[in-house]
Amino acid sequence: MTRKFNIKTAIIASIFLVLSCNPDNAFNDLDTAKQAIKVQDITDHDGSPFSIDKYDASKARFNPGPGGGVMMQGFYWDVPAGGTWWDHVAGKVEDWSNAGIESIWLPPVSKAQGGATSMGYDPTDYFDFGDYNQNGTVETRFGSKSELIALINSAHNENMKVFADIVINHNSGGQLESNQYTGTNTWTDFTNVASGKFLRTQHDFHPNAIKNNDEGVFGGFPDLSHSVANVQDWLWKRADGVGKYYKNVIGFDGWRFDYVKGFGPWVVKEWNNHVGGFSVGELWDGNVDYLNWWANEANSSVFDFACYYKMNDAFDGNNLAILYDDMMWKRNPFKAVTFVTNHDTDEIWNKMLAYAYILTHEGYPTIFYRDYEEWLNKERLNNLIWIHNNKATGTTSILYADNDEYVARRNGYNGNPGLIVYLNNSNNWIERWVPTNWNNTQIKDFTGHSSWYPTTQGGGWVKIQCPPKSYSVWSPNI
């Protein structure tokens, strides 16, 4: 949830207009590539327009391929205010579906203390979706309840899922009351929320009659106590409570739980047991043991921060050998949600290498809105999404890694042949002999970066190549 300023945001803003006016340039040296990292890998090595395997735009609805689908983070920090965002995203749904996007993660949808300017992470009234005059506004920053439901319906019509960002660690925007547990006045009176639902007072926050604290407090906000019966009832037990109302009435298919370090994993487990749907927790920690423990205890997916930090060290630090290290997707791939950046953190410069990594490896990959719609080359991302959905199957075998090179094989599953991904962080074209699972088989680079069509030997070995500061993905030419 915490917004961290990153100097790259300012740099990007200053170069974006220049780059957008000349999207077909190819950047060859490291310094230039650093400056123009948002637009790269756009021409073949000979300067001609690339030819890549990509999605079929005539496909009207998302249809999961053998490799599954991809999640889109459908917002960024400080999206335009004015109540237009739900309609804006609704206008993207069909294109995202055609590109192979399976699901959309939306920001917190209910009224927050910041009213029309809030990104939703300071929730006041969980049942005000933009239809009550509260906190200085009727609509939320993103729009109205009817616009939200229309967006979700549009996604469902495209066979896509929509996930709600759920902020249940803390609340904001209550009235001042005399607190018997602290001996002070606290902003914990939420008995006058406009919806009239999930009324709460000092007894529903820490400290209270049951316990003084839980796992963590965020930003000095009143800390919601999930041990209190009233809180449990309204969050996940009641048929008209937050979870079931969001799912059964508003139409959400799953949940992104904000700041799960602030409460025990049993909370998410209880939510999932009572409400159901996909869930992923924001456990901001690079410790794989901790991530895996939390995912198992919560019976939930978790964002793979271990992978995120390793990719930053690998691609920006010229140390691809670090990709041998442990990550959540290696430990528990079906509970790992991988990502390159999000609304809180944007540290990786060599983003196309990072997307090539997560879209060819195990885990549930996430695309960031601004990377897709503004900063990177959309056709290249669409190609990687197509590769993920159609070729990225089976277990993963790392074939080679050093400072500049990384080669891994997806071993295929249920008749799908899998793939070999080759990442190159050097300034030169490179070649390497690698072992495949395919004997006497012609393969090709499905990114179009290489024009080679090699045939594997009887024992499966083959030589492949990769352009500088880029990637190639190889699979049988079928």
pLDDT tens, 109-152? 999 999 999 999 999 999 999 999 999 999 999 999 999 999 99
Check whether 39 has a pLDDT greater than 80.
Answer: no
Check whether 412 has a pLDDT greater than 60.
Answer: yes
Helix, strand or coil, per DSSP, at residue 388: helix
Contact criterion met (CB below 8 Å) for 472 and 450: yes
Query: What one-character DSSP code corresponds to residue 344?
Result: S
Look up tokens 């990072």; give the residue: 354
Q: Phi and psi of 68, rounded to 5°?
A: 95, -150
**pLDDT at position 52, please?**
54
Domains 50-393 and 400-476 share a fold: no
Check whether 382 has a pLDDT greater than 60.
Answer: yes
Residue 326 structure tokens:
């442990």
Q: What is the CATH number of domain 400-476?
A: 2.60.40.1180
Give helix 288-298 / helix 265-274 axis angle, nearest 10°. 40
pLDDT band for position 340 (50/70/90)? very high
| Residues belonging to the chain | 478
* Nearest residue to 297 (alpha-carbon basis) of 274, 281, 285: 281
Q: Give the residues across from 473 on adjacent strands.
A: 421
User: What's the mean per-residue pLDDT of the chain?
Assistant: 90
State the amino acid at position 181 in one-letter form: Y
- For 19-34, the pLDDT digits (tens) are 333 323 322 332 333 3
Look up tokens 């999605």; give the residue: 55
Q: How large a percentage of the chain has pLDDT more than 70?
A: 87
Whether the predicted model's global pTM rises above the 0.85 cut: yes
**pLDDT at position 19, please?**
32
- For 300-317, the pLDDT digits (tens) are 999 999 999 999 999 999
Check whether 440 has a pLDDT greater than 80.
Answer: yes
Look up tokens 């298919």; give the residue: 253
In order, the DSSP letters of 29-66 are SHHHHHHTTTS---B-TTSSBP------TT--S---BT
CATH 3.20.20.80 for the 50-393 domain, yes or no? yes
* Nearest residue to 204 (alpha-carbon basis) of 220, 174, 224, 184: 224
294: Cβ–Cβ under 8 A, 6 or more apart, which residues? 260, 265, 281, 283, 300, 302
Question: How many whole angstroms separate alpha carbon 291 and alpha carbon 303?
Answer: 8
Check whether 162 has a pLDDT greater than 50.
Answer: yes
Q: Work out the number of other CB atoms within 10 angstroms of the CB of residue 355.
A: 28
Kindly list the domain boundaries of the chain, sorted by start residue: 50-393, 400-476
